[in-house]
Structure 1
Amino acid sequence: MVINWLDYKLDGNRWETLCLDICRIIYKEEYFHEVPAHYKGDGGIEGFTKSKLGVVIQCYCPDDPNLDHNKLYESQRDKVTKDIQKIIDNHGILKKIGVAKITRWIFMVPEYKDKRILEHCQNKQRMILKAKENNPKDLEYISEDFQVHIKVAADFKTEIARLIRTEITDVKLDIPELEEESINWETLDSEKSKNVSRKMKAISSTTEENPERSRKLIDYHIKRYIFGKTTLEKLSNEYPDIWNDVMKIERVFKNKVKEKTLLSYNHEMNLKTYNALSDEFEESLNVELKYLTTETSMMLAQSIISSWLADCHMEFY
């Protein structure tokens, strides 16, 4: 299975490892314990908290990445059915490993595509509560407030981003390119449009000789500026740590860009300076932010460079 915003092919083992690492972050203060399955099974859970919060988790990712919606639902439904039943059957094992109270049973999957899995989880929640009612002594570790939840990868973007930056070196963040749209740049902020137009003329002498080429070039940079703004806002909201990493590199480059471009004074020198700064900035993102895919680094670099043209940091005369 592939998550479209991660350059990382998931299977059952990889997903379980990722889920456990996520839970170690989320439940750091709740005394989270992993439950290895090597000796007499894991009791139907992959991990649990020993605090009053009472969370147990079960992870699942089918190894077949090509399941259609119905097959994916059926595989997830069967997994929930099997492991929820273990909560009842394995009460002895769960008590021995220290599970004191279960308030939340969380089913962690990369994604789900059928609302029937939500209905199934609610049915199993009612089943557990009924079983506790019928057998309160053996199932004393089940809370009267017991609930079943299903969580997907997108619910843990902040934690996954932290792991990408610090621990899981073979996972890369892949921010999808925004769909191309036709932009009438002349209707946008006139000052920014004029900045891009003026600087393109300063960089390339052929823009005045070829108005159509000039229009396309300006249109490209305005698109990159608009798309880049949206992408960076998304980055700031969903991956604040990664956004900070990008902004730190950008802040370092801003002064350099301003100095280098102000020292440039003719078309040939302007073009050479522009290309050198663009290449250097893109390379810096690739080197410093190894957890981004090459495509994502290139997209961010091009968008930020276009913002420098639209604003005042990259100045050509």
Structure 2
Amino acid sequence: MAIRREWKGDEWQEFALQLVQRRHGAENVQIVPDKVKGDAGLEFFTTCGCFYQCYAPQEASDVAKAASAMKAKAGRDLPKLIKNKTIIEKLLAGTKGKRWILLCPFLDNKEVVASVRERGLTIRAENLAFLTSEFEAPCHSQQDFLAEIEQLKALSLGPPLSVASPTAEEVKDAAGDTEIGVRIDAKLGRAFGPNAPGGQIVARRDQYVKAHLHRENALEQLRDNHAVLWERAFETIEAEEARLIAVGATSTIPGQQLQESMNRMENSLAQALPTLNPALRTRIALGTISDWLIRCPLDFPESDLS
């Protein structure tokens, strides 16, 4: 299973909460509000005595830097159990803490585990009234929640979509002197007429190619993290393509055919994926039109030009 490594802090905390709620039951998880004087070193805790503190390193590709940041996070927050012991004891209301868990998107370096667990033993030695005598501080990551992640995916509640926009270099590579670029150039030339400025055709071509690449990125993210949404998107796109091939466009004017196909695709996706970001639906729709131009379900014969 591919694990997403790069997260914004708030985004990771929200997703981590979903994972913990799936594991322990939402009714057994208490969020600790942080608007007033912070979260006292706990972002949420369970009725069985697990304290969770979430952290997403800003540097996700450098293993050493990520490990250093994780150790520093535990070094800042574990001592808060001592500093805020009066507040925490009131929050727990009799619940005894047996685990303080640093929950990160990934865990690459065993030195993090050793460092955090050692700090946990130091806290245990303080004999705090709200901790059990077996208190420990382990580190967990998404690898420890694979079953919960699969459950969320089945409910289309997987990780938030992070769809990378194609770079200018990627568009250039795909749209330059390639079969894809030549095919779209020819179709757009027929669609907008032989007198259309060459620069305009190239600009349109690049936008269609960019949309196609963006669509592929979006569908890959849906397939990996939101299986139900991906299936709906796939079925919708297939149905619209089958309709286009069987019935064709109602207009014989190429520009109107493009707009009509775009409108139908956007409307169909809006009905099938109402919770998806509208801007992303538009990109998927435009990318689908580009895919049709590349593979030929949508074409503009010379005889259609006026």
TM-score, length of structure 1 as denominator length? 0.60
Q: Do residues 280 (structure 1) and 264 (structure 2) align?
A: yes
Q: Give the one of 235, 248, 255 matched to 1:271.
A: 255
Deviation at 1:278, TM superposition (A): 0.4
Match of 1:114 in 2: none
Partner of 1:47: helix, strand, or coil?
strand
Partner of 1:97: helix, strand, or coil?
coil
Deviation at 1:148, TM superposition (A): 3.1
* Residue 262 to residue 275, structure 1, CA distance change in 2 (3 Å): closer
* Residue 239 to residue 162, structure 1, CA distance change in 2 (3 Å): closer
Match of 2:29 in 1: 34
8 Å Cα contact 1:121-1:148 kept in structure 2: yes
In structure 2, C-alpha distance between the alignment counterparts of 1:24 and 1:243, rounded to whole Å = 24
Deviation at 1:24, TM superposition (A): 1.9
State how many pairs are aligned. 273
Match of 1:141 in 2: 134
* Residue 37 to residue 236, structure 1, CA distance change in 2 (3 Å): closer
Match of 2:288 in 1: 304
Deviation at 1:311, TM superposition (A): 0.9
Match of 1:20 in 2: 17
2:119 partner amino acid: M
Q: Give the one of 294, 297, 308 matched to 2:278.
A: 294
8 Å Cα contact 1:58-1:105 kept in structure 2: yes
Q: Give the one of 149, 170, 192 matched to 1:204.
A: 192
Deviations 1:114-170 (A, max 9, x none): xxxx988854420323555796x9743335xx523477xxx9996897599569xxx
Q: Percent identity?
A: 15
Partner of 2:28: helix, strand, or coil?
strand
Q: Give the one of 236, 239, 243 matched to 2:230.
A: 243
The answer for unaligned runs of 5 or more in structure 2 is 1-5, 34-38, 57-70, 302-306
Match of 2:204 in 1: 217
In structure 1, C-alpha distance between the alignment counterparts of 2:201 and 2:243, rounded to whole Å = 27
Match of 1:46 in 2: 44
Q: Do residues 128 (structure 1) and 106 (structure 2) align?
A: no
* Residue 257 to residue 157, structure 1, CA distance change in 2 (3 Å): farther
Deviation at 1:105, TM superposition (A): 1.1
* Residue 210 to residue 307, structure 1, CA distance change in 2 (3 Å): same
8 Å Cα contact 2:54-2:103 kept in structure 1: yes
In structure 1, C-alpha distance between the alignment counterparts of 2:258 and 2:16, rounded to whole Å = 44
* Residue 172 to residue 262, structure 1, CA distance change in 2 (3 Å): same
8 Å Cα contact 2:101-2:139 kept in structure 1: yes
TM-score, length of structure 2 as denominator length? 0.61
Deviations 1:40-90 (A, max 9, x none): x9995723385xxx85423579xxxxxxxxxxx988853343147779x97
2:237 partner amino acid: E
Deviation at 1:307, TM superposition (A): 0.8
In structure 2, C-alpha distance between the alignment counterparts of 1:32 and 1:108, rounded to whole Å = 23
Q: Do residues 252 (structure 1) and 239 (structure 2) align?
A: yes
In structure 2, C-alpha distance between the alignment counterparts of 1:283 and 1:95, rounded to whole Å = 52
In structure 2, C-alpha distance between the alignment counterparts of 1:217 and 1:223, rounded to whole Å = 10
In structure 2, C-alpha distance between the alignment counterparts of 1:260 and 1:81, rounded to whole Å = 69
Match of 1:57 in 2: 52
Write out aligned runs for 1:154-233 (5 A). Answer: 165=156, 173=161, 175-181=163-169, 182-183=172-173, 185-188=175-178, 190=179, 192-206=180-194, 210-233=197-220
Write out aligned runs for 1:113-124 (5 A). Answer: 123-124=115-116
Q: Which has the higher contact order (CA 8 A, sep 6+)?
A: 1
* Residue 58 to residue 222, structure 1, CA distance change in 2 (3 Å): closer
In structure 1, C-alpha distance between the alignment counterparts of 2:152 and 2:165, rounded to whole Å = 18
Match of 1:69 in 2: none
In structure 2, C-alpha distance between the alignment counterparts of 1:36 and 1:105, rounded to whole Å = 14
8 Å Cα contact 1:105-1:147 kept in structure 2: yes
Deviation at 1:31, TM superposition (A): 9.1
Deviations 1:10-46 (A, max 9, x none): 5xxx986654333223x15x898213669xx999572
Match of 2:77 in 1: 79
Across the aligned residues of Structure 1 and Structure 2, the Cα RMSD in angstroms comes to 5.4
In structure 1, C-alpha distance between the alignment counterparts of 2:202 and 2:31, rounded to whole Å = 62
